Structure 1
Amino acid sequence: MRISTVAIIPRVPFSLLNLSITTISSASPLQIPTVDPPDPIPAVDLPSKLLEILTRPNWQRDPSLRDLSRSITTVHVSAVLNHPPLDPRLALSFFDWTGSLPGFRHDHGSHSALLGLLVRHRLFAAARRIRISMFRSCASPEEARRALATVRSTTSLDLTVRCYNMLLMALARLGLLVEMREVYGELLASGSAPDVYTYNTMVNGFAKAGSLAEAKMYYGCIASAGLSPDVHTYTSLVLGHCRVHDVDGARKIFDSMPCRRNEVTYTVLIHGLCEADRIDEAFELYSRMGDEQCRPTVRTYTVLIQALFDARRMTDAVVLFKEMRKEGCIPNVHTYTVIIDGFCKERRLDEAKRVFGEMLERGVVANEVAYNALIDGYCKEGMIESAVAVMSSMELNGFKANERTFNEFICGLCKEKKVHKAMGLLDRMLERGLVPNLVTYNSLIHGQCREGYVDVAFRLLRLMTEKGVKGDQWTYSMLIDALCKKGRMEEARGLFNSLEEKGIEVNEVIYVVMIDGECKAGEIEAAHSLFQRMVHENCSPNDYVYNALIDGLCKEGKLDDGLSLLDEMVERGVKPDPVTYSVLIDAMLRGGEFENAWRILQQMIDTRCEPDVCTYTLFIRAFCSEGRLEKVESLLAVMEKKGVVSDLVTYMTLIEGYVNAGFICHAFRILKLMMDSGCEPDMCTYSVLVGHFAHERRRNFEMSDLMGDMDMEGKKGFVDLWKIVEIEDVLKLLSEMVKYGCDPNIKTFSALIGGLCKEGRLEEARLVYREMEERQLLPDENIYTLLINCCCQSRIPREALIMMNKMIDCGYQPHMESYKLLICGFCEDGDVIKAKLVFHSLLNCGYNNDEIAWKILIDGLLKSGHVNQCSELLVLMEGKNCQPSPQTYDTLIKEFVDRSNGV
């Protein structure tokens, strides 16, 4: 097997699965290694060649057979075994030899071919062995059904009870209960008497599937047949009770067993207790294993370690893992995977990576699940490059990326607001023969909604529906939420009201987003009606619902109604959370009701609801606005004592408070603390500071004239701030940052350039860019994107193109939005040739063809009135074999007709 070389080019943030970035000027992509198929044997009929080799003496040692071995598949083996003159003993030897090849597994076809040959030559002993091997090899329900059909058709080969038992075990392993009943009935009809292994298999199969009543029926048959249940029987019954979440019933059987329990019995009940969140009882049982001379197995330890990680008791999990090895129980790949996944979920990726490395060093071969756990951890943290590196290792070691792997990358990219790259993976999935599922589409819809592309999200919904993937409650909650956030309330209401006919049950999440949307739109009565409907439909309102309503009432100045709703919430048994109290405290503080706010804070603490960083920040903001900085310092001390870590809004509030009080040195001290803690200042934070220097320069402006109030999320009401900031204000900020030990980094320049580009001040943004270059800092993807988009919005597409070329030369992939603005910009200037060149380069980026059609052709050119240019670029897409889906063609045709008719 040949494996291609891994080429990792520095500074290329992402190019997954050979997703190339060959655009206007060439940028070297990050290449993912691909596993090449075995080299074909040219001009040779492989089965014929194998048959020829089998005629030679000592054929197993034939050198040419060794060369052919890595190309042999079960299809070739079946063809050889079905060759009429083949000696059956030679066929059996060949079957055993191929079965010993690394990575080779006989399937039903090869088993069936050999079985037929052996039966025809009446070699029944060998035939029985192959028949049992066929049962054991079944890896899917379909294979098991084929094996069953073969057995039924081979009437000349009698079925012993042992053979029935092996067949029943294969069916039980794959959960084929209907077939188990049929085979059991055939066993009885044959006149053979089931033995205890038969009954145990039936009990276990049905218990494992949660069919406890039927499992107990077969258990009753044991005594009726004059047989005695054994430890396996009782262990299966314990498992059955656990599967139906009756852990007490499982414990009762466990305690009353008339025979000695074994390690499996203990482990099954321990697992059941852990799944019921009764971990302490599970450990009590674990501690008793030695009383019956049972030693915990690797499975026992793995179950307990998993439970400890799920309960976020990481320290205990690590201690148990060490104890496991100390006791001489060697962890397997499942144990390591549980630990890796546990660390990843707790965002302790360095430890997850260390455990993964330790696993490999100890000779434990990683499987797909282990690789995917680490990939998922990196993707969830936005560390896409690290995830790509793990995937490279995964594929180099013979494991192919599956649907889960792709879904993890898509989810990670969407979380990083790179939905344009995530969309490109849809095509890569299809190229690999993988089928996007509901998780795939939901991640993409969430990504599009999060970045504001609501219409694209609905096009995705249509695409997935027509591909046979039905949306669920999560799908529609995201779409309704996105419509509400865009202020498209009529559409949100229409979609909400259509859910019943779509077969979607409205759950708490959908009610929350709809109620929150109505509240934010000022429609409190409509929100209250939804609340009443929710209660009427026996859908219990949760804290999120109450929080949305209380927030809406407070925003409308109806604080008393909000407090009444808090009382109702408590009466209904719904516990208020920090958000509930923070909403009320915010309303009180804004109204100057400090005493009432303190009273609510005390009530919060009395009910054991610990104030969070948002709650403390509200008080800090209120004290800052009154200039009571000594109170602010006291609160910061309380936060530190309680282990509450300041966040972006806290730091920004403090900086603004010190700036407004005239303590600029204190403001920069907070900025340094902020940067040192790893909390990156954003554009709003720098706006406060640069606004101070603008205020100093223009003393006729008050700071409050430059900025609006800050809300709970820390968003600023910019009132022409970036319109009046001059380049000397920005340079002054940068020099003061250096003076106070807050060295400006690339994120600093990104925030400053972003503020200027927001107001279309391209010339000033250029000057800041040059200042960045003079400081030997290289622009990042965001800076390039800001400048490209600003150039386009300033009607200077040629300069935007130059900047895009620089971006690509540095290894960054331009965003779809940038391409849209640039192509539309050239069309506006009448330069269709350049528009086509840019579009041509876009088609080489690995973007999803449907998204290109949606965002460039429909939302870009058609909405701008460039119908003819849109038609030309569609032809260009087709010429490059980048056709959109039939669903997108339908949308394009409708849009073409509408635009042509002036709609």
Structure 2
Amino acid sequence: MRRLSPPPAVAVAESIDALRFSTSAAASAVPSPPDLDPPRLDPSDVRSHNAVLISYSSRGSEAPRLAHLLASFGAMLKSAACGLFVQMPRRWGVYYDRHSYTILIQGLCAVGRIDDACRVFAKMSRGWCRPGVHTYTVLLDGLCKARRVGDAEALLGEMVDKGVVPNVVTYNALIGGLCQEGRFDDVTKLLEKMEMQQCAPDCWTYTIVVHGLWKHGKVEHGAKVLCEALVKGVALGVATYNVLIDGYCKVGDMKAALDVLQLMKKNGVNPNVQIFNVVIHGFCCGGKVHQAMAFLTQMVGAGLLPNIVTFNSLISGQCSVGEMKIAFRLLDLMEDYGVLPDRQTYAIFIDAHCEQGRLEEAHSLFSCLPQKGIKAHSVIYNSLIHGYCQVGDIDSAFGLMEKMASEDCISDVHTYNALIDGLCKVKRLDRAIDLLDKMKKQGIEPTTCTFNILIKQMLWDKKHADAAKMYEQMISSGCKPDKQTYTLKISTDWFEGARKEDNIDVDIVEMHEAGVSPDVETYNAIIKAYSDAGLMEKAFFAHVKMLSVPIDPNCTTYSILLNHMCNKDDSDAFDNEKVWKMVDVRNLQELFEQMCKSDAAPGISTYKALLRGLCNQCRLEEVEWLLLKMQGNSVLLDEDMSDYLLGCYCNLKMYREACEQFRSMAHQSFQPGLKSCCLLLSGLCDSGDHGMAVSIFSDILGLGYNYDEIVWKLLIDCLHEKRHTGACLGMLSVMDDKKCVASTRTYASLIHLLLETE
């Protein structure tokens, strides 16, 4: 084993000073770190000591050997690694090398002691052992993670000036820091510099850039970067694709996410469990749970086993669309895959029951948690408290808060928000304000949401002065108004005596200056406020602004605008459902004329919102007019719009047209919602056309649905409940013929029900 020649005495002294920093008295007060001479440590070999340095450094600030202390700027360096580093020359005669310094600098960066890392680096630079590319990279990465990107850029310049050539890892560290700050122009320049210096960006470089763009809301730019990398022949891995797919899923653009997934497969990269989970979660968040379940089938078909994350997403998705039966059946499916429900699983079920007002069932689930070895956390308690508050049972809600305390589960701001909201709902505003004071005294700071709850109730109670004072209190406490705050201000008479128009204009300007981006609800509030004030020109201008952001309008957006046209003499009488029931072709024509006048040509988002509103109320004449309008403007029906139309035909018992619509969707590989499929199959069976029902079912099986969900929803919950036993048996036979296999437990459940019926 090679020994290092000792460096000059002065260099050794300087190196030790890097950690002693101040006085010899302070250094002598440092106790020796325990157990620094393990049995297999060669006292004279620096590499052995470096190995121990790595071990100690990797344990961070929580290691048990951190009892000793090195005096350094108020006792900051508290690690066994530092103790070993100081004693290497004096106790064992081992002299530091470049790796010793680098290990220590990396450890200091890992525990956030960036200034100390810089001081050690500075001493190293002045000593006999000069930093290399790895040392520079470690410190540069630490600076970037500490958001000291300017210092990192300066360090890169120093590195180049001293003849140390940066490598791709060095550049990646700085690119990560620049992406954190949103400095993408500088990222582009740095990428160009890398290529000029023949340091080609690698897979991780592009992963960092794509992730940074997504974090700053530039997902589309991330897609372009990914394509550029592929053109340059960079072999991208799962991580790069995952970042972009996750970004699209989080903004709800599932089509783009699936396009990236297809690109990934085309380039020979197979998706892993994490990517499937991301896509499944994305579909569930968008209410497309049947498509999430279809991805479960694809996941298993790819030889990947679903985990607890997969099932929790699916259970949450089914609960969110009201399919509690299917959510509970997923528990059985979990068991088939050897996955046990965890605390999050039960939290989802309890919250879903509370949202539906089924408090008795929610509490029953809560009560059985100890038997399952699960301790309820604040999320579960808060769901229950919120549930009781929603039904006005304030006493039970406060009782649960007391139980939380007895179980050493600390109440948080969400607990108090739920209780404050509950008190407001039962008209106990005074007690709600007292609770606000109580939470402050207990060290729990209210959030913007807390103040929004109170302001909303005050406005409803016509206590405008109190609302204004509460708003000022919110600002003085450091809470900034959010979208909900501005939506409240715009949709209510915030200041008595002021003109509504003036208030709206002021609020919009204030929101813009505060950097708050309005969402669809905020825009709907703006449009309605202008409409109520008779300012339709401004209402349509707000609609144009909404489209240009772009934010897709929804049914409510157009029901507000159409309401003015249907009720010109009674614009305050707004009822969303009522508007769609009374709107006619003339109103739609007027809407399109007004949109054209305001330079807002109808796009697919407009047609989609209008078609949904009309189909929900089965307004066939208006639907047909709109379809002709779309055809004239070369706007094609997408999957959602096709499904609205299918549901409309089924609700009108127009089964021939519904079958044609279904066939058209199947031809385009569209997946109708299973609710529409239920309406179609049960309608055909009700009308005695079992043959057509079985034929349609056969086509459904070819559209990629999850077979368990097909059996649960179409056969058990739909046809069996309506006593169409013969159709069920025929469809089960079709599944067998097509080898569409559901789980054994699902089959057994269906057979048991069919036998009971017979």
Aligned partner letter, 1:344: W
**Do structure 1's residue 755 and structure 2's residue 601 form an aligned pair?**
no
Deviation of the 1:566 alpha carbon? 1.9
Deviation of the 1:760 alpha carbon? 3.8
Contact 1:589 1:619 in 2 (8 A): no
Task: Tell me the residue number matched to 1:870.
Answer: 728
**Do structure 1's residue 725 and structure 2's residue 583 form an aligned pair?**
yes
**Distance of aligned partners of 1:292 and 1:472 in 2 relative to their CA distance in 1, 3 Å threshold:** farther
Deviation of the 1:572 alpha carbon? 2.9
Aligned partner letter, 2:314: L
Task: Tell me the residue number matched to 1:470.
Answer: 340
Contact 1:371 1:390 in 2 (8 A): yes
1:283-322 → structure 2 map (5 Å cutoff): 296-310=166-180
Cα distance in 2, alignment partners of residues 498 and 198 from structure 1 = 54
**Distance of aligned partners of 1:251 and 1:528 in 2 relative to their CA distance in 1, 3 Å threshold:** farther
Q: TM-score, normalised by structure 1?
A: 0.69
Task: Tell me the residue number matched to 1:488.
Answer: 358
Cα distance in 1, alignment partners of residues 474 and 197 from structure 2 = 47
Cα distance in 2, alignment partners of residues 313 and 607 from structure 1 = 32
Root-mean-square deviation (CA, aligned residues, Å) is 3.8
Which of the numbers 547, 551, 561 marks the counterpart of 1:689? Answer: 561
Task: Tell me the residue number matched to 1:71.
Answer: none
1:560-571 → structure 2 map (5 Å cutoff): 560-571=430-441
Secondary structure at the counterpart of residue 281 of structure 2: helix
Which of the numbers 388, 408, 413 marks the counterpart of 2:278? Answer: 408
**Do structure 1's residue 850 and structure 2's residue 708 form an aligned pair?**
yes
Task: Tell me the residue number matched to 2:26.
Answer: none
Deviation of the 1:329 alpha carbon? 5.4
Deviation of the 1:602 alpha carbon? 1.7
Contact 2:306 2:337 in 1 (8 A): no
Deviation of the 1:581 alpha carbon? 1.7
Contact 1:203 1:218 in 2 (8 A): yes
Cα distance in 1, alignment partners of residues 189 and 399 from structure 2 = 53
Aligned partner letter, 2:757: S
Cα distance in 2, alignment partners of residues 634 and 277 from structure 1 = 36
**Distance of aligned partners of 1:592 and 1:321 in 2 relative to their CA distance in 1, 3 Å threshold:** farther
Contact 2:378 2:411 in 1 (8 A): yes
Task: Tell me the residue number matched to 1:437.
Answer: 307
**Do structure 1's residue 900 and structure 2's residue 757 form an aligned pair?**
yes
**Do structure 1's residue 880 and structure 2's residue 738 form an aligned pair?**
yes
Deviation of the 1:839 alpha carbon? 0.9
Aligned partner letter, 1:592: K
1:387-398 → structure 2 map (5 Å cutoff): 387-398=257-268
Task: Tell me the residue number matched to 1:815.
Answer: 673
Task: Tell me the residue number matched to 1:381.
Answer: 251
Deviation of the 1:836 alpha carbon? 0.8
Deviation of the 1:253 alpha carbon? 7.2
Which of the numbers 505, 508, 516 marks the counterpart of 1:633? Answer: 505
Further displaced range: 832-841 or 398-407 = 398-407
**Do structure 1's residue 667 and structure 2's residue 539 form an aligned pair?**
yes
Task: Tell me the residue number matched to 1:108.
Answer: none
Aligned partner letter, 1:419: V
**Do structure 1's residue 426 and structure 2's residue 283 form an aligned pair?**
no
Cα distance in 2, alignment partners of residues 311 and 474 from structure 1 = 34
Cα distance in 1, alignment partners of residues 445 and 187 from structure 2 = 30
Cα distance in 2, alignment partners of residues 805 and 685 from structure 1 = 32
Which of the numbers 646, 652, 658 marks the counterpart of 2:524? Answer: 652
Task: Tell me the residue number matched to 2:650.
Answer: 792
Deviation of the 1:883 alpha carbon? 1.8
Cα distance in 1, alignment partners of residues 371 and 111 from structure 2 = 33
**Distance of aligned partners of 1:868 and 1:202 in 2 relative to their CA distance in 1, 3 Å threshold:** farther
Task: Tell me the residue number matched to 1:840.
Answer: 698
Which of the numbers 533, 550, 555 marks the counterpart of 1:678? Answer: 550
Contact 1:477 1:509 in 2 (8 A): yes
The higher relative CO (CA closer than 8 Å, separation ≥ 6) is in 1
Cα distance in 2, alignment partners of residues 834 and 296 from structure 1 = 69
Cα distance in 1, alignment partners of residues 163 and 516 from structure 2 = 48
Secondary structure at the counterpart of residue 304 of structure 2: coil
Contact 1:660 1:703 in 2 (8 A): yes
**Distance of aligned partners of 1:545 and 1:885 in 2 relative to their CA distance in 1, 3 Å threshold:** same
Deviation of the 1:616 alpha carbon? 1.9
Further displaced range: 294-303 or 240-249 = 240-249
Deviation of the 1:683 alpha carbon? 0.9
Aligned partner letter, 2:514: K
Secondary structure at the counterpart of residue 501 of structure 1: helix
Cα distance in 1, alignment partners of residues 376 and 170 from structure 2 = 40
User: Unaligned regions of 5+ residues in structure 2, if any?
Assistant: 3-37, 66-79
Deviation of the 1:307 alpha carbon? 4.5
Deviation of the 1:586 alpha carbon? 1.2
**Distance of aligned partners of 1:556 and 1:288 in 2 relative to their CA distance in 1, 3 Å threshold:** farther
Cα distance in 1, alignment partners of residues 341 and 154 from structure 2 = 44
Cα distance in 1, alignment partners of residues 43 and 440 from structure 2 = 63
Cα distance in 2, alignment partners of residues 637 and 608 from structure 1 = 21
Cα distance in 1, alignment partners of residues 364 and 411 from structure 2 = 22
Deviations 1:650-675 (A, max 9, x none): 33223223333333333323323332
Aligned partner letter, 1:850: D
Deviation of the 1:592 alpha carbon? 1.2
Aligned partner letter, 1:862: H
**Distance of aligned partners of 1:475 and 1:318 in 2 relative to their CA distance in 1, 3 Å threshold:** farther
Task: Tell me the residue number matched to 2:74.
Answer: none
Which of the numbers 582, 590, 611 marks the counterpart of 2:481? Answer: 611
Cα distance in 2, alignment partners of residues 306 and 383 from structure 1 = 25
Deviations 1:280-320 (A, max 9, x none): 88778777767987565432342343345456666776676
Contact 1:623 1:629 in 2 (8 A): no
Task: Tell me the residue number matched to 1:348.
Answer: 218
Secondary structure at the counterpart of residue 374 of structure 2: coil
**Distance of aligned partners of 1:225 and 1:285 in 2 relative to their CA distance in 1, 3 Å threshold:** same
Aligned partner letter, 1:683: C
Contact 1:333 1:366 in 2 (8 A): yes
Deviation of the 1:439 alpha carbon? 2.6
Cα distance in 1, alignment partners of residues 361 and 116 from structure 2 = 51
User: Unaligned regions of 5+ residues in structure 1, if any?
Assistant: 1-159, 162-183, 708-715
**Do structure 1's residue 520 and structure 2's residue 387 form an aligned pair?**
no
Deviation of the 1:841 alpha carbon? 0.8
Contact 2:305 2:337 in 1 (8 A): no
Q: TM-score, normalised by structure 2?
A: 0.81
Further displaced range: 748-757 or 617-626 = 617-626
Which of the numbers 352, 355, 368 marks the counterpart of 2:238? Answer: 368
1:147-186 → structure 2 map (5 Å cutoff): none
Aligned partner letter, 1:829: S
Aligned partner letter, 1:481: D
Deviation of the 1:230 alpha carbon? 3.3
Cα distance in 2, alignment partners of residues 632 and 260 from structure 1 = 64
Deviation of the 1:837 alpha carbon? 0.7
**Distance of aligned partners of 1:225 and 1:665 in 2 relative to their CA distance in 1, 3 Å threshold:** closer
Deviation of the 1:340 alpha carbon? 1.2
Deviations 1:484-529 (A, max 9, x none): 2222222222223333333334333333333222222222222222
**Distance of aligned partners of 1:663 and 1:195 in 2 relative to their CA distance in 1, 3 Å threshold:** closer
Cα distance in 2, alignment partners of residues 541 and 294 from structure 1 = 54
Identity rate, percent = 37
Task: Tell me the residue number matched to 2:453.
Answer: 583
Secondary structure at the counterpart of residue 741 of structure 2: coil
Aligned partner letter, 2:380: I
Contact 1:547 1:580 in 2 (8 A): yes
**Distance of aligned partners of 1:621 and 1:573 in 2 relative to their CA distance in 1, 3 Å threshold:** same
Deviation of the 1:338 alpha carbon? 0.8
